[in-house]
Structure 1
Amino acid sequence: MAIAAGLWGTDGLLRLPLAEELPAATVVFWEHLIVAVVLLPFLPSALRALARCGPREWGAVLLIGGGASALATALFTAAFQTGDPVTPLVLQKFQPLFAMVAAFALLGERLRAGYLVFAMPALVGAWLLSFSDPLDVEVSALRTALLALGAAALWAGGTVLGRFVSASLRPRDVTALRFTIGLPVAAVIVAAQGSPFAVGWDNATGLVLLALVPGLLALSLYYVGMQATPAARATLAELAFPVTAAMISVTVLDADLTVTQWLGLVVVVCSITALGWHERSRPTKVVLDPEPVGAGR
């Protein structure tokens, strides 16, 4: 799992050069096309499994592919075009916070007041990280943060919807359907923005590596690791993601963070990690299972 999280940390190294050369929508389209082609042999069985599902599962899969895959990745890529490479990667750690809120709204899970103990420091850390001077809000920095947080929120929604369809579909089926459904949505985004579909051969290697390394390979390793790794240890292993991302951004991508931004990075990582550790290892949770009647399942 640490290897998977470390591979996610290389996302900025591969995405930033592409974001400087190509529109965000074009990068996302090719990501989906490459992975969809690789997963094509698994698509027939995934479609057969989906055909046996009801309209709620169909709707969830469509939202996963269109929102959590295509639109979220487009927002995430756009964040690299407007700001430093560290902020989007670290703000991605907000997914657990958003996932808990989405689980409350969509699955009927309940949040205790203790949730704010972890959420408030994380929000403060995000503010410190997003602005080089936390008392001087810049519009460009705010846009970068909002794009990154929007992507994290959509990915969190996809996680919750994936949990919903997991009773009917295998993870492999969901992954194949996610990228296959996301591909036409990504194409629509390209067309709507007037971006080009064609890319030069000089970007081909970067696109393939981006789709397969922090994309498909990391996701596959993560699922394998989750099957054999205690949850509390998994939380620590996931720290390889922001640490790797920050180190690559500062040493390779020439990102320059202020003291308050480094402080914000540490606060975000520690707050989200503490939340994950608490929920996976402590008997008293801040997120409770849904009531049998109110869950609507």
Structure 2
Amino acid sequence: MAIAAALWGTDGLLRQPLAEDLPAGSVVFWEHLIVAAVLLPLLPSAVRALARCGPREWIAVLVIGGGASAAATALFTMAFQTGDAVTPLVLQKMQPLFAMLAAVVLLGERLRSGYLLFAVPALAGAWMLAFADPFDVHVAALHTALLALGAAALWASGTVLGRFVSARLRPRDVTVLRFSVGLPVAALFAAGRDEPFAVGWENAPGLLLLALVPGLVALSLYYVGMVTTPAARATLAELAFPATAAVIGVTVLGETLSTTQWLGLAVLVCSVTTLGWHERTRKDEPVVLPTDPVRRERVSP
């Protein structure tokens, strides 16, 4: 999972040049089309596996594909078009917190009051990171931050629902269905915004790398790891994402962070790291109380 998170960190290096030349809807559509085309031979078996599931799994897959894949990626791309390259990437570190909140709403898990000891500093760090001067907020910067946080929230819901459907579906099937369902949603998004489907050949290499590296390869590794990795360990592994993103943003993309933004990054990462470490080492006093274990059906190979 750490390898997958590190691959996600390369997203900004590939997405920013495309976001400068192409509308968000065009980029998202081609991301999904490329991956869906690669996975097309696996689609029939994935559909058969989904057909054996109940309505809750069907709804979860639709939300994963339409929301966590297409809509979230569109918001993420739009964030690049409205602001700098570092803020959208590192604000994704809020995703583990959103995932725990989504687990409360969607899976019935409960939070203890100690959760605020981790959540409040993380939110403060995210605010400091989003703005060069946290006391001088501009609408444009706020717009970028909201788009990035919206993407993080949708991806978090996809993480929780992905864990839910993994009881009935193999990681490979979840990946195939995610992009296959997301493709028509991405097409509708582009069409609704009157954005072109045709892109120049000069953008083809960047789109291929974006779709295959932080897209297909990283997500496939993530779903495989998510089957056996507890949430707390997954949170620690995902720290490879903002670390890689920040290094690439500053060293390759030429972005700069103010002193308070660096401090915000440190507070954000430390808060989420401490939360994950607490849940791993204090299993007798977790701040997130899971639901009663439910017998999971074995997924046939």
Asked whether the two chains share a fold, i.e. TM above 0.5, the reply is: yes
Deviates more, 1:97-106 or 1:274-283: 274-283
Amino acid at match of 2:279: E
Distance 1:240 1:30, change over 3 A: same
2:289 match: 288
Whether 1:133 and 2:133 are equivalent positions in the alignment is yes
Distance 1:268 1:77, change over 3 A: same
The alpha carbon displacement at 1:224 in A equals: 4.6
TM-score by length of 2: 0.92
Deviates more, 1:163-172 or 1:60-69: 163-172
Amino acid at match of 2:212: L
2:143 match: 143
2:78 match: 78
The Cα offsets for residues 209-235 of structure 1, whole Å up to 9 and x where unpaired, read as 001111111222334556787877655
The alpha carbon displacement at 1:268 in A equals: 1.0
Give the distance between the partners of 1:84 and 1:242, measured in 2 at CA.
15
Task: Answer whether contact 2:69 2:182 (CA < 8 A) is retained.
Answer: yes
2:172 match: 172
Give the distance between the partners of 1:11 and 1:32, measured in 2 at CA.
15
1:190 match: 190
Give the distance between the partners of 1:78 and 1:86, measured in 2 at CA.
14
The alpha carbon displacement at 1:40 in A equals: 1.1
1:215 match: 215
Amino acid at match of 2:267: V
Structure 2: 5+ residue stretches without partners:
295-301
Give the distance between the partners of 1:141 and 1:204, measured in 2 at CA.
30
Distance 1:181 1:230, change over 3 A: closer
Distance 1:103 1:228, change over 3 A: closer
Deviates more, 1:30-39 or 1:235-244: 235-244
1:268 match: 268
Secondary structure of the corresponding residue to residue 53 of structure 1 = coil
Give the distance between the partners of 1:14 and 1:44, measured in 2 at CA.
31
The alpha carbon displacement at 1:247 in A equals: 1.1
The alpha carbon displacement at 1:287 in A equals: 0.9
Distance 1:97 1:233, change over 3 A: closer
Task: Answer whether contact 2:163 2:226 (CA < 8 A) is retained.
Answer: no
2:11 match: 11
2:119 match: 119
Distance 1:221 1:63, change over 3 A: closer
Whether 1:23 and 2:23 are equivalent positions in the alignment is yes
2:97 match: 97
Distance 1:273 1:64, change over 3 A: same
Secondary structure of the corresponding residue to residue 20 of structure 1 = helix
RMSD: 1.9
Task: Answer whether contact 1:232 1:281 (CA < 8 A) is retained.
Answer: no
Distance 1:109 1:31, change over 3 A: same
1:160 match: 160
The alpha carbon displacement at 1:269 in A equals: 1.2
The Cα offsets for residues 129-160 of structure 1, whole Å up to 9 and x where unpaired, read as 11111111100000000000000000111111
Give the distance between the partners of 1:28 and 1:137, measured in 2 at CA.
29
Amino acid at match of 2:77: T
The alpha carbon displacement at 1:59 in A equals: 1.0
Give the distance between the partners of 1:14 and 1:197, measured in 2 at CA.
19
Task: Answer whether contact 2:171 2:220 (CA < 8 A) is retained.
Answer: no
Secondary structure of the corresponding residue to residue 35 of structure 2 = helix
Distance 1:237 1:97, change over 3 A: closer
Give the distance between the partners of 2:165 and 2:224, measured in 1 at CA.
19
TM-score by length of 1: 0.93
Secondary structure of the corresponding residue to residue 214 of structure 1 = helix
Amino acid at match of 2:190: V
Amino acid at match of 1:287: V
2:68 match: 68
Q: Percent identity?
A: 78
Deviates more, 1:247-256 or 1:1-10: 1-10
